[in-house]
Amino acid sequence: MHKTVWFKIHWFLGITAGIILLVVGVTGAIMSFEKEILRAINQDSYYVSVPTEQKKLSTKELLEKFQTSNPNAKINSISFSSDEKSSTLITIAGEGENARKGVTKHVNPYTAEVLPDLVGKDFFGFILRLHRWLAFPQDIREVGKQTVAISTVALIIIVISGIIIYWGRIKHAFLKSFTFKFKHHGRAFLSTMHSAIGMWVIPFYLLAALTGLFWSYQWYNTLLYNIAGVEKPQRNNTPPQAQPTQENQAEGQKPQREGGERAQGQKPQKQDGQMSEGQKPQKQSDNNSSAKFDELQKAVDMFNIFVQRDYSTFTVKLPAKGTLYSFSYLDDKSNHFRESNTLELDINSWQLTKHDRFEDKPLNEQLIRSMLPLHTGEYFGIIGQIGMFLASALMALFTITGFMLYINRHKKKKKKEIKE
pLDDT per residue as tens digits for the range 18-66:
999 999 999 999 999 999 999 999 999 999 999 988 899 999 999 999 9
* Max Cα-Cα span within the chain: 96
Distance CA 281, CA 5 (A): 73
On average, the pLDDT of the chain sits at 86
CA angle 103, 109, 112 (to 5 degrees): 70
- Residue type at position 38: L
- Exposed, middle or buried by CB within 10 Å (0-12, 13-18, 19+), for 273? middle
Q: Which of 138, 147, 198 is nearest to 169 (CA)?
A: 198
User: Residue 236: which pLDDT band, with cuts at 50, 70 and 90?
Assistant: low
Q: Which pLDDT score is estimated for 183?
A: 78
Q: Which pLDDT score is estimated for 247?
A: 52
Q: Which pLDDT score is estimated for 252?
A: 42
Distance CA 11, CA 411 (A): 15
Lowest mean pLDDT among 180-189, 220-229, 232-241, 380-389: 232-241
Residue 293 DSSP symbol: H
Q: What is the pLDDT of residues 111-139, one digit of tens each?
A: 999 999 999 999 999 999 999 999 999 99
Distance CA 58, CA 65 (A): 11
Lowest mean pLDDT among 162-166, 319-323, 362-366: 319-323
Q: Give Cβ neighbours of residue 376 (< 8 Å, ≥ 6 apart).
A: 28, 31, 32, 385, 388
Q: What strand order describes the sheet that includes 340-346?
A: 103-107, 88-92, 75-81, 311-317, 324-331, 340-346, 351-356
Contact 169/176 with Cβ under 8 angstroms? yes
Q: Which pLDDT score is estimated for 253?
A: 44
Distance CA 376, CA 335 (A): 13
Distance CA 405, CA 407 (A): 6
Per the document, the length of the chain is: 420
Q: What is the pLDDT of residues 237-255, one digit of tens each?
A: 444 333 344 555 554 444 3
Residue 175 has pLDDT above 50, yes or no: yes
